[in-house]
């Protein structure tokens, strides 16, 4: 099926500003070629420095960066550093996510929608302001402008009914053959309707570690065959829980009288993900575990790790919003601006190389 929208040139985003010694070394190595890379030991696995380093290394498997040769994707020194950073991140997640192989119980818990929740979508639906919606969307763009791409890596690692069902869901994510209905395209349309920059990677410098970590976990599981069960668990978490949250975001945008073009992305997910829930549960997970029962613990890990990372992201948003300050590292123009005379956790530390980065529109 041919789309009606003009074809846009594919442009790789610029390299971001570093946030510490690890990300600085990675960004320099991507630009100039690896020399001596620092050890990962001691870096906070959930911190800005390690998460940005990982994000940059993973991005070489997607669109890369402007001015960076494509063959840096598989440079042995960078791959070795990526594996070390991945292992630190994985170790931290496994230490927090209690192990279990009871997939049915885990899925059942996902399907229980609280009467009154406390996450960002609940806040936005009830009390959210326009600037909060905009910065939520800006941060989510790091995933949604590549929506379904991380999960596509698992297709070749599945077989039979599980593969067929997952491809069915992915087909919908890519617009069922219509490029104008691709979910990434709908998200970009929403960004423009909200006066945000819809360029791929535009808000990487502004996004905090908590936003990067959610995307990094998908990429990590997608690139490691050993974590195919965890990626299915992550995929199930998104598809089983996003419909109610999307409905709340639709209500938030309509309450704020935002343009209808801004509503369409989440309105699409209310219906699509309700259908996907059944496909993922019965079409992907059930046959996957029938064929490979040993993956049950990994599926649960994928679900629990995804929940932990989503909670970290949500807690950051709500904590900052409760204090009437931006959750972005560089606030959007319509968000509350930090008081230059007071320390502000929204901004990077003054010693960081990107402390003078301008606010993003």
351: pLDDT strictly greater than 50: no
CB 16 within 8 A of CB 205: yes
Q: Which residues contact 267 (CB under 8 A, 6 or more apart)?
A: 246, 250
In a domain, 85, yes or no: yes
Q: Residue 239: pLDDT above 80?
A: yes
Residue that wins the pLDDT comparison between 338 and 58: 58
Does the residue 6 lie in any domain? no
Which H or E element spans position 120? helix 120-126
Q: Counting every residue, how long is the chain?
A: 361
Q: How far apart are CA 120 and CA 325, in angstroms?
A: 15
**pLDDT tier at 357, thresholds 50, 70, 90:** very low
**Nearest of 193, 173, 161 to residue 235 by alpha carbon:** 173
Average pLDDT over residues 90-106: 97
3-state DSSP assignment of residue 301: helix
Residue 353's pLDDT band, with cuts at 50, 70 and 90, is very low
Task: Please report the pLDDT score of residue 349 as a whole number.
Answer: 38
Does some domain include residue 12? no
174 and 290 fall within a common domain = yes
- Given 60, 94, 128, the domain boundary residue is 94
Dihedral sign of CA atoms 234, 62, 220, 155 in order: positive
Q: Rounded to an integer, what distance in angstroms lies between the CA atom of residue 42 and that of residue 352?
A: 17
For 108-117, give one letter per residue: b (16+ CB within 10 A) or e: eebeeeeeee
Of 67, 50, 78, 91, the residue nearest 12 (C-alpha): 67
**pLDDT above 70 coverage of the chain, percent:** 91
Q: Does residue 116 share a domain with residue 83?
A: no
State pLDDT tens for residues 199-211.
Answer: 999 999 999 999 9
Higher pLDDT, 351 or 232: 232
Q: Residue 340 — very low, low, confident or very high, per pLDDT cuts 50/70/90?
A: low
33 and 116 share a domain?
A: no
Average pLDDT of the chain?
A: 91
What proportions of the chain, in percent to the nearest 5, are helix, strand and coil?
65, 0, 35
- How many structural domains is the chain composed of? 2
Residues 312 and 228 reside in one and the same domain: yes
- Terminal Cα distance for the chain, rounded: 34
Same domain, 115 and 248: yes
C-alpha distances in angstroms, 300 versus 20, 236, 255, 331? 33, 10, 36, 36
Q: According to the model, what pLDDT value does residue 89 have? A: 98
> Range of 30's domain?
21-94
Residue 271 pLDDT > 80, yes or no? no
Considering the domain architecture, whether residues 78 and 217 belong to the same structural domain is answered as no
pLDDT given at position 254: 97
The domain boundary, picked from 36, 70, 94, lies at 94
Residue 133 · residue 194 · CB < 8 Å: yes
Across 293-303, average pLDDT: 98
DSSP letter string, 14-30: PP----SHHHHHHHHHH
> Which of 242, 266, 249 is CA-nearest to residue 128?
249
Contact by Cβ (8 Å): 177, 250: no
Q: Does residue 359 lie within any of the structural domains?
A: no
Taking only the tens place, the pLDDT of each residue in 100-133 is 999 999 999 998 877 678 899 999 999 999 999 9
Residue 98 pLDDT > 60, yes or no? yes
144 and 121, same structural domain? yes
- When pLDDT is averaged across residues 237-252 and rounded to a whole number, the result is 93
> 121 and 90 in one domain?
no
């Amino acid at each position: 099926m041919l789309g009606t929208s003009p074809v846009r040139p594919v442009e790789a985003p610029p390299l971001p500003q570093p946030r510490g010694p690890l990300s600085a070394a990675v960004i320099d190595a991507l630009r100039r070629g690896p020399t001596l890379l620092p050890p990962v030991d001691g870096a906070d696995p959930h911190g800005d420095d390690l998460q940005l380093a990982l994000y940059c290394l993973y991005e070489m498997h997607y669109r890369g960066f402007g001015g960076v040769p494509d063959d840096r994707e598989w440079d042995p020194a960078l791959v070795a550093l990526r594996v070390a950073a991945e292992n630190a991140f994985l170790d931290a997640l496994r230490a927090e996510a209690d192990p279990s192989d009871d997939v049915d119980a885990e899925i059942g818990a996902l399907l229980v929608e609280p009467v009154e929740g406390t996450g960002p979508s609940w806040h936005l639906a009830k009390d959210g302001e326009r600037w909060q919606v905009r910065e939520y969307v800006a941060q989510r763009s790091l995933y949604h402008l590549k929506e379904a791409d991380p999960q596509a890596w698992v297709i070749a690692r599945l077989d039979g009914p599980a593969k067929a069902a997952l491809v069915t869901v992915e087909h919908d994510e890519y617009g069922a053959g219509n490029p104008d209905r691709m979910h990434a395209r709908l998200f970009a349309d929403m960004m423009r309707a909200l006066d945000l920059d819809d360029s791929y990677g535009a808000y990487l410098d502004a996004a905090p570690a908590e936003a990067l970590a959610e995307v990094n976990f998908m990429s990590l599981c997608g690139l490691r065959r050993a974590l195919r069960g965890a990626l299915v668990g992550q995929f199930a978490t998104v598809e089983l829980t996003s419909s109610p949250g999307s409905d709340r975001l639709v209500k938030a945008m309509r309450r704020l009288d935002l343009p209808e073009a801004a509503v369409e992305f989440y309105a699409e997910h209310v219906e699509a993900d309700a259908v996907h829930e059944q496909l993922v549960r019965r079409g992907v997970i059930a046959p996957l575990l029938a064929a490979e029962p040993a993956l049950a613990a990994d599926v649960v890990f994928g679900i629990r790790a995804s929940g932990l990372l989503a909670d970290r992201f949500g807690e950051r948003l709500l904590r900052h919003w409760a204090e009437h300050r931006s959750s972005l590292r560089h606030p959007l123009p319509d968000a509350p601006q930090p008081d230059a005379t007071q320390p502000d956790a929204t901004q990077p530390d003054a010693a960081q190389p990107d402390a003078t980065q301008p606010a993003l529109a």
